Amino acid sequence: MFFATLPPASDAAAIPLAMLLVFGTAKLLAEILERLGLPGIVGEILAGVILGPSVLNWIEPSLLLSALADLGMLFLLFRAGLEVKAQELFQIGATASAVAVAGVVTAMACGFAVTAGFGYPRMEAVFVGAAMASSSIGITASVLSGKGWLNLTASRIILAAVVIDDVLGLLLLAVVSSIARGSVNVVEIAVTTLLAAGFVVAIAKWGGHAMGRLMPYLQRTMRTDEAEFSFALMLLFALSVAAIYAGVAAIIGAFLAGMALSESTGERVKDLSRGASELLVPFFLAGMGLHVDLSVFRNPAVLALLGAIAVAAIVSKMAGCGLSALHLGRVEAFRIGCGMVPRSEVGMVAAQLGLSLGVMSQPVFGAVVGMAVITTIATPLLLQVAYRQEPATR
């Protein structure tokens, strides 16, 4: 590994050097791809692949890079939430719910069918289906936010649908893991579902009202530098922690925190949040590439499975989510289908859980990870085509 060649006296340089390599390479490749007319975030993901164990082996995943990646996700979703008003999401709630349910069911069924069709055990196929069921909000939010498309109808539906999708995905994961252990605790699953749904609805419905009453008071009384931004950060971290205890992902709490502040905070908070995300998001994107293990795909059978489930993952979300929004028109339906394609957080949790329970083999796990990376890289390309008629405003 690259850092193994550094002399002991330069150990203090390891952290800033790692940050320089990851951030610098990510931004360099993003610039190159943008000049080629391709989405820059694809270059940031490829930076991790190139620097990681599969190619140059200069950098390995570490606690530091993982922490920076997690922070990047939180700020990315917080920034997206600042651009969205809760009232607008409730107006498209019925469509977003239909999109989320259709996407989860279609992807789960396709994942199971493809894996079982390759001759793998049914329980393993169930976990692959669960890993394919939930969409990832991070990549789509990054593209939409970066281009200034968050306020479009299709974008708002995508964001709302992914929040609902996250709750459904975690519920599905609880069910399949209980089945794998040999017992299903209906009461526990029901309580988890109610807590998760209640948390999301409560913050979305009353968070903005509460902040609308609180922020003017804080603006009058707080005296520290960037007091408003400091309070916004405290709300971001508080709701991220609360989301975890409520049974949903921390990034959902971050998104809800931003949405709660969207109508009561000033442009200064948005500018500072944008700066923080510009620093941290490349570590999230490159971090995905660092976890890619290309050696798994030397096996032709695994490579075939990867190709099949990657195609199924893309087609199932585009078809299931797109068809459920077809009443909005073909253009909007296509945009929504494309925005729901990426997989990451819940899918990786499902795959890792299946591996730890002994119902998912290492080759299949590698194929699921590869599927997540492929859908992540494909999404910016698909969104660029879907939104080609919309001018980028940033």
pLDDT digits (tens, 9 = 90+) for 129-155: 998 998 888 888 888 888 889 889 999
DSSP 98-147: HHHHHHHHHHHHHHHHHHHHTT--HHHHHHHHHHHHS--HHHHHHHHHHH
Q: Position 175: which residue type? A: V
d(CA 1, CA 17): 13
Q: In the prediction, which pLDDT does 6 show?
A: 45
Closest CA to 243 of 284, 277, 276, 202: 202
pLDDT tier for residue 345 given thresholds of 50, 70 and 90: low
- Contact assessment for residue 115 and residue 128, using Cβ atoms and an 8 Å cutoff: yes
Tokens 């360099």 belong to residue:
28
Q: In the prediction, which pLDDT does 289 show?
A: 82
pLDDT digits (tens, 9 = 90+) for 234-284: 999 999 999 989 888 888 899 999 999 998 888 899 999 999 999 999 998
How much of the chain exceeds pLDDT 70, in percent? Answer: 95
Q: Position 372: which residue type? A: A
Burial pattern 78-117, b for ≥16 Cβ within 10 A else e, equals bbbbbbbebeebeebeebbbbbbbbbbebbbbbbbbbbbe
Mean pLDDT of the chain: 87
Residue 336 burial (C-beta neighbours within 10 Å; 0-12, 13-18, 19+)? buried
Lowest mean pLDDT: which of 178-192, 217-231, 364-378? 178-192
pLDDT digits (tens, 9 = 90+) for 166-220: 788 878 887 888 887 776 677 777 787 888 888 988 998 899 999 988 988 888 8
Q: In the prediction, which pLDDT does 78 show?
A: 93
Of 390 and 295, the structure prediction assigns the larger pLDDT to: 390
3 state SS of 237: helix
pLDDT digits (tens, 9 = 90+) for 63-94: 888 899 889 989 988 998 898 888 878 888 89
pLDDT digits (tens, 9 = 90+) for 5-32: 444 445 678 888 889 999 999 999 999 9
- Contact assessment for residue 261 and residue 18, using Cβ atoms and an 8 Å cutoff: no
d(CA 167, CA 173): 10
Of 31 and 298, the structure prediction assigns the larger pLDDT to: 31
d(CA 343, CA 138): 9
CATH code 1.20.1530.20 for 69-280+296-386: yes
pLDDT tier for residue 322 given thresholds of 50, 70 and 90: very high
Over range 365-370, report the average pLDDT: 84
Q: In the prediction, which pLDDT does 7 show?
A: 47
∠272-137-265 over CA atoms, to 5°?
A: 30
Instruction: Write phi, then psi, for 359 (nearest 5 degrees).
Output: -100, -5
Q: In the prediction, which pLDDT does 4 show?
A: 44
d(CA 206, CA 213): 11
End-to-end CA distance of the chain: 38
Q: In the prediction, which pLDDT does 110 show?
A: 96
